[in-house]
Amino acid sequence: MQKIKFLILTKSVGFYLNVLSYVNLEKAKNKAYQLFSQPRKGRLTKEHLPKTLQSATLETFQYDKDQFQTYIWKGNQEIILLAHGWESNASRWKKLLAYLKPLGKTIIAIDAPAHGLSDGKEFNAPKYAEFLNVLTQKYQPKTIIGHSIGGAAIAYYLNQYPNPNIEKVILLGAPSDFKIMSDNFIKLLSLNNRIKDSLEAYYLEKFNIHIDDFSGHKFAAHFTQKTFVAHDIHDEVVLIDEGRKYASTLKKATYIETSHLGHSMHDADLYQKIIQFISEA
């Protein structure tokens, strides 16, 4: 029943936007982008902060007009940075933290734009990358870990802001092609080509990159860091082909395909492999 309601809702919204596009294409495009870029879940409040994050030291950064939230578990001078994905927040790292903390390193997790305690209504990889750049300039992490779009944001970040101080990159269930995400959104709402073309022109204007070139695996081809990529063959959110694209272009990569972990990628054996990768000289 819930799936039927969701289908009716999405198709109704799509029908409205398609009709609107013949009256006011600019307005239809803006509304479509708003739906595409605004997360519906993942927000937190300080009054109801998950226990995982209550044990951290909270630090807030100011960037442009937005504040973004970080959580720090203090250890030695070597730093690991964690970047979560869409409609999530820094608490998604609860299970991995249990494996990372015994390493004795300082761990920093970030709330993405419009997620957790961070400001904003709009989420996109370039803005996330800007937040990451501010944070890495101050703390200079040696290892950076991203799940889902957090991984794609890391790929974009390293393309825009090459950082030789980062020695290791870990990507878990990360999407590569922005065009696939955009096309999936268009298909979900059954939007017409007028809106599709208008959105793609808007992406070029907004991000200064053609949608066909907005690909994490293309960015990753220029990585100088050692990289660990893991993707689940049963991931229905980001298909396994995306992980294989990263694996095919990375020069210094460890690539692992898991089974039956889905998109969350929570698994003791996988976490042990990540710890081994981080610990290697």
What mean pLDDT is predicted for residues 141-153? 98
pLDDT given at position 230: 98
The tokens of 81 are what? 């940075």
Residue 281 clears pLDDT 90, i.e. is over it: no
Instruction: Give 133's contacts (C-beta < 8 A, 6+ positions apart).
Output: 157, 160, 161
Q: Give me the sheet containing 226-232, strands edge to edge.
A: 57-63, 66-73, 105-110, 76-83, 143-147, 168-172, 226-232, 253-258
Percent share of the chain, pLDDT over 70? 97
Q: What is the mean pLDDT of residues 86-105?
A: 97
Nearest to 143 by CA among 112, 162, 167, 172: 167
Element (H, E) at 273: helix 268-279
Domain boundaries along the sequence of the chain = 1-37+178-209, 45-176+215-279
What predicted TM-score, i.e. pTM, was given to this entire model?
0.94
Over the stretch 170-184, which tens digit does the pLDDT of each residue have? 999 999 999 999 999
CATH of 45-176+215-279 among 3.40.50.1820, 3.10.129.10, 1.10.10.10, 3.20.20.140: 3.40.50.1820
Residue 7 has pLDDT above 90, yes or no: no
User: What distances in angstroms separate CA 231 from CA 9, 177, 206, one per listed residue?
Assistant: 31, 15, 30
pLDDT bin (cut points 50, 70, 90) of residue 65 is confident
Q: With bands split at pLDDT 50, 70 and 90, how would you rate the model's confidence at 9?
A: confident
Q: Model confidence at 11, in pLDDT bands (50, 70, 90)?
A: confident
Q: At what angle do helices 193-207 and 2-23 cross, to 10 degrees?
A: 80
- 221 pLDDT above the threshold of 70: yes
Place of tokens 């090459």: 162
Spatial distance between the Cα atoms of 185 and 72, rounded to a whole number of angstroms: 35
pLDDT, tens digit, 9 for 90 and up, residues 26-41: 999 999 999 999 999 9
Residues whose CB is less than 8 angstroms from the CB of residue 204 and which lie 6 or more positions away in sequence, other chains included = 210, 211
pLDDT tens-digit profile of 246-260? 999 998 899 999 999
Mean pLDDT on 6-28 = 89
- pLDDT value for 64: 87
Distance CA 128, CA 150 (A): 8
Q: Which amino acid is at 280?
A: E
User: What is the model's pLDDT at position 2?
Assistant: 63
> From the CA atom positions of the chain, what is the Rg in Å?
19
Q: How confident is the model at residue 186 (pLDDT cuts 50, 70, 90)?
A: very high
Res 3 pLDDT > 80 = no
Cβ-contact 214, 177 below 8 angstroms: yes
Three-class SS of 183-236: HHHHHHHCCCHHHHHHHHHHHHHHHCCCHHHCEHHHHHCCCCCEEEEEEECCCC
The confidence score (pLDDT) of residue 275 equals 98
**Predicted local distance difference test score (pLDDT) of residue 178:** 96
Average pLDDT in the 182-188 region?
A: 95
Instruction: Render the burial of 59-81: b for 16+ CB within 10 Å, e for the rest.
Output: eeeebeebebbbbebebeeebbb
Q: Give the pLDDT confidence score for residue 196 in this predicted structure.
A: 97
Q: What is the mean pLDDT of residues 130-141?
A: 96
d(CA 73, CA 214): 33
The structure tokens listed for 195 are 């809106």
Residue 5 in this model has a pLDDT that exceeds 90: no
Mean pLDDT of the chain: 95
